[in-house]
Structure 1
């Protein structure tokens, strides 16, 4: 996956999340399916992960040592979902836009040649290209869930 492809995806997510300001409060807060998060919780959970990548990953990729494992996924997601239940939609969207924009700006500074340089997370060897490919797959999974939930709810 090229740097340009990753950049385009991240730019698209900014536009897409901004478009969610048009939702009704019911659409924003309603669970997308039984036992699943609401759109508010889905969008909110991107924020701490983007912050983690921005502050704890990007600057460490090429230090010639294995990067530490990510924080506890379930706990980080639980906390972000909980926060989303109590904050205004504009705040959740604003936090997403702010951190993703900052992440995007930092990614643009990385030389294209570095996108295929290997690094380790624990015992796993990755490149920036493969790392972001996994993150994009995660974004697209949730974007599709939201799209499906909205099309079902609006019938």
Structure 2
């Protein structure tokens, strides 16, 4: 089942509220690895930012230009850099950066006509629609949101 524009917009609006709620977690919860060998909540939230920026600035306006879409950044470079940044900055900065770029992305998504959400385009050899593209991103968000929820103390869940 492919999500429609409204469902996608609802998810992105919910993530803004959910990340804002993380101001309530303890500093130890914010900075500690969610499990052995995993990132902290700070690092997880921070890693969303450059990906949202990439979608906003390098993909969103290019979907229908009949040109090859830009390659995604190297995940093995971008994710460690965003995790490192999260370790150095205040929680409020990480949350503000997330909210700023996600809000801008959400505003641009809302401007896209409903008819475009099911129009096909290609990334490499993969045929997608905007709905299916964002559905994949939402699944990624939900994966990390679940990890964070599971890592938080039971009274916070």
**TM-score under structure 2 length normalisation:** 0.96
Please give the root-mean-square deviation of Cα atoms over the aligned residues, in Å: 1.4
C-alpha deviations, 1:90-139, integer Å up to 9, x for none?
00000000000000000000000000011111111110000000000000
Instruction: Report SS of the residue matched to 1:120.
Output: strand
Instruction: Report SS of the residue matched to 1:126.
Output: strand
What is the aligned partner in structure 1 of residue 143 from structure 2? 141
What is the aligned partner in structure 2 of residue 84 from structure 1? 86
The runs of at least 4 aligned residues of structure 1 exceeding 6 Å deviation read none
Question: Superposed, which structure 2 residues align to 1:5-154 within 5 Å?
Answer: 5-151=7-153
- Between the aligned partners of 1:21 and 1:60, the Cα distance in structure 2 is 35
Q: Any stretches of 5+ residues in structure 1 without a counterpart? A: none
Aligned residues: 155
Once the two structures are TM-superposed, the CA of residue 152 in structure 1 deviates from its matched residue by 5.9
Structure 1 residues 49 and 95, CA gap change in structure 2 (3 angstroms)? same
